[in-house]
Amino acid sequence: MVRLKTCIASILVDDGRVAGLGLANGERHHAPLVLANGDVVTMLTELLAPEHLPTTYADRVRAIRRGPSAVLVSLGLDTIPAQPARMFIREGGLEFGIGNPSVIDQTLAPPGHAALTILCLLSEEVASTWRRGDIDYRGRKTAFADHLIKVTERTVMAGLSQHIIYSEVASPATFSRYARSINGNIYGAARKSMVSPDQDAGAWVDAGRGRNDNRCWN
């Protein structure tokens, strides 16, 4: 059974062994094995009670630096841009990537329309300053997205803003909220995982083929 929209609050331990999960709604589920696929630091230092980890190991886990987060602008367009499927822009200290997959797969959007993404990586330090509770959070998000769209328009896609019929913006705080990752990291750790490779899977595995590199805009 897969339980969606279910928050895990703790990993249960009995006599030094994993014994199951405690849900945020108070339910407890017993199991001999737990596979945790979320943020490694949260798993080891928050879901697991502190007494279950040696202090030096817990300190090393807390010191893990995370890779970047991002601002992601997802757009629906009423045209299919003729530009390549992948472009990278570097202008005025700003670096970001543009994904234009509809140019190679027109089934991604209704006929004559396109899905376009603009992804600007942010270092962990910058990402940590994005907080949903901040009074200017929404304004900051909108301004950042507008700037990315303007630079895209100026550099590679003239007239882009006239073709936008749908827009959604994610910030580091959005990634934190939905992936439950610290500082909204989108690729896991910035350096090698502390768990041996045969026990490790997912975003926290050491970076290798098939991943973006970790260039960030500070």
Ligand X SMILES: Cc1cc2nc3c(=O)[nH]c(=O)nc-3n(C[C@H](O)[C@H](O)[C@H](O)COP(=O)(O)OP(=O)(O)OC[C@H]3O[C@@H](n4cnc5c(N)ncnc54)[C@H](O)[C@@H]3O)c2cc1C
Segment (H or E) for 22: strand 17-23
Q: How far is the CB of 213 from ligand X (least distance, A)?
A: 10
Which long-range CB contacts under 8 A does 203-211 form with residues at least 24 apart? Answer: 204/40, 207/67, 211/187
Does the footprint of ligand X cover residue 214 (CB under 6 A)? no
When the beta carbons of 5 and 30 are compared against ligand X, the nearer one is: 5
Q: How many residues bind ligand X (CB under 6 A)?
A: 17
Does residue number 38 form part of the binding site for ligand X (CB under 6 A)? yes
For position 10 contacting ligand X by CB under 6 A, the verdict is no
CB 71, min distance to ligand X, A: 9
Binding mask 117-136 for ligand X (x = CB under 6 A): --x-----------------
* DSSP H stretches of helix in the chain: 40-42, 55-62, 124-127, 137-155, 172-179
Which residue type sits at 189?
Answer: A
Task: Give least dist CB 15 to ligand X, A.
Answer: 24
CA–CA separation, 9 vs 29, rounded Å? 12
Q: Which two tokens stand for residue 165?
A: 């019929």
In the shown chain, the binding pattern of residues 58 to 87 toward ligand X, with x for contact by CB under 6 A and - for none, equals ------------x-x---------------
Q: Does 186 bind ligand X (CB under 6 A)?
A: yes
Angle (nearest 5°) at CA 41 between 35 and 46? 85
Judged by beta carbon, residue 154 or residue 211, the one nearer ligand X is 211
Q: Return the bridge partners of 20, or none.
A: 12, 30
| Torsion angle (degrees, nearest 10) of CA 183, 187, 190, 192 | 130
b/e per residue 8-19 (b: at least 16 CB within 10 A): beebbeeeeebb
Stretch that binds ligand X, among 87-95, 105-113, 136-144, 207-215 (CB under 6 A): 207-215
- Using CB under 6 A, which of 162, 202, 206, 213 touches ligand X? 202
The stretch among 84-92, 122-130, 151-159, 179-187 that binds ligand X (CB under 6 A) is: 179-187
Which parts of this chain interact with ligand X (CB under 6 A)?
7-8, 37-38, 70, 72, 119, 175, 179-180, 186-187, 202-203, 210-212
